[in-house]
Amino acid sequence: MQEILTKVDPSCMGVVLKRVMLRAASQVAEQAELDALVTGEAVAQVSSQTLTNLAIIDKASSKLVLRPLAFMDKGAIIDQCRAIGAEHFSAAIPEYCGVISVRPSAHLRQHKVEAEEARMNAQVLADALANAKVQSIDSVMKDIERGVSQVPEVSSPAPNQVVIDIRHPNERDLRPLRLSGAHIAPQSIPFYSLNSEFSQLDRSRQYLLYCAKGVMSQLHAAHLRDAGFDNVGVYRPRDHAVVEGDVQD
């Protein structure tokens, strides 16, 4: 994520992300002796899923990519999900919207995407795959639920607790976080820099991660706690008006 968000042009971010995901999936599939990849993409639902961009995405993998939902609209997909009994399972999967682009392009060119990818450090993906753990999706969900359940949540920070806004800088600038009372002003560390920067913070202080929906903050807090940082939790305000731009009742 850090490589994409700091080195790739915003117009290409979504497509580059999916190409990287296909490369990763292809390596896992090769090791598992699987012949095809399956995605839940539907044509034209988002900018990365136009026919032009899907063709560019497919070229990142030598595996056959199957898209059984390609020509279904969102309502039909939800109806089918409900019919086969998967609605509850799908709703429980945390949404991790890490790559945020304010200027995505629906009609990219192959050479532009490849030029942007060339700016990234390919070793980052290679290292991630070398250390990857392959699990079935139900095991992944159990691990996430177990980790998230151990993360303390705070709705009103104490004076000695530091709130860290982990949102993407664009989102943070658009809707700044402001804390009421005498609390310490929030710090800002984008989620993709947490791994490298959190270890440099004062270990004697308590830190609360904040994001708009609470999903990314929970996952990152759980990851940091697994890494031995027991001084981290999540800031989840009851009053959503703490973010400028929200509408108060």
Q: What is the pLDDT of residues 167-209, one digit of tens each?
A: 888 888 888 888 865 556 788 999 888 888 999 999 889 999 9
97 in active site: no
Residue 36's pLDDT is 96
Question: Is the CB of residue 17 less than 8 Å from the CB of residue 99?
Answer: yes
Residue 124's pLDDT is 92
Question: Is the CB of residue 28 less than 8 Å from the CB of residue 135?
Answer: no
Q: Which one from 12, 81, 97, 211 is the annotated catalytic residue? A: 211
Better pLDDT: 146 or 63 = 63
Residue 15's pLDDT is 93
Nearest-angstrom CA–CA distance, 238 and 198:
26
Residue 97's pLDDT is 57
* Sign of the alpha-carbon torsion through 55, 66, 27, 223: positive
Question: Is the CB of residue 13 less than 8 Å from the CB of residue 48?
Answer: no
Mean pLDDT, the chain, integer: 84
Rounded to an integer, the average pLDDT of 34-41 is 93
CATH architecture for the domain at 153-242: 3-Layer(aba) Sandwich (3.40)
Residue 34's pLDDT is 93
Nearest-angstrom CA–CA distance, 47 and 224:
33
List where CATH 3.40.50.620 sits in the chain. Answer: 2-134
Selection from 173, 184, 168, 200 nearest residue 235 by Cα:
184
CATH architecture for the domain at 2-134: 3-Layer(aba) Sandwich (3.40)
**What spatial distance separates the first Cα and last Cα of the chain, rounded to whole Å?**
36
Rounded to an integer, the average pLDDT of 121-148 is 80
Selection from 84, 88, 74 nearest residue 40 by Cα:
74
- HEC string of the chain equals CHHHHHHCCHHHHHHHHHHHHHHHHHHHHHHCCCCEEECCCCCCCCHHHCHHHHHHHHCCCCCEEECCCCCCCHHHHHHHHHHCCCHHHHHHCCCCCCCCCCCCCCCCCHHHHHHHHCCCCHHHHHHHHHCCCCCCHHHHHHHHHHHHHCCCEECCCCCCEEEEECCCHHHHHHCCECCCCCCCCCEECCHHHHHHHHHHCCCCCEEEEECCCCHHHHHHHHHHHHCCCCCEEEECCCCHHHECCCCCC
Q: pLDDT band for position 246 (50/70/90)?
A: very low
CB 133: neighbour CB atoms within 10 A? 7
Has residue 128 got a pLDDT over 70?
Answer: yes
Better pLDDT: 54 or 144 = 54
Q: Tell me the pTM.
A: 0.72
Q: pLDDT band for position 247 (50/70/90)?
A: very low
Residue 63's pLDDT is 94
Has residue 114 got a pLDDT over 90?
Answer: yes
Residue 92's pLDDT is 58
Has residue 40 got a pLDDT over 50?
Answer: yes
Residue 147's pLDDT is 59
At 88, list the tokens: 């509850």
- Give the torsion through C-alpha atoms of 16, 18, 19, 20, to 10 deg: 90
Residue pointed to by tokens 């250390």: 131
Has residue 132 got a pLDDT over 90?
Answer: no
Note the pLDDT tens digit of each residue in 88-107.
Answer: 767 656 555 566 666 788 89
List where CATH 3.40.250.10 sits in the chain. Answer: 153-242
Better pLDDT: 150 or 31 = 31
At 173, list the tokens: 């600038």
Amino acid at 206: Q
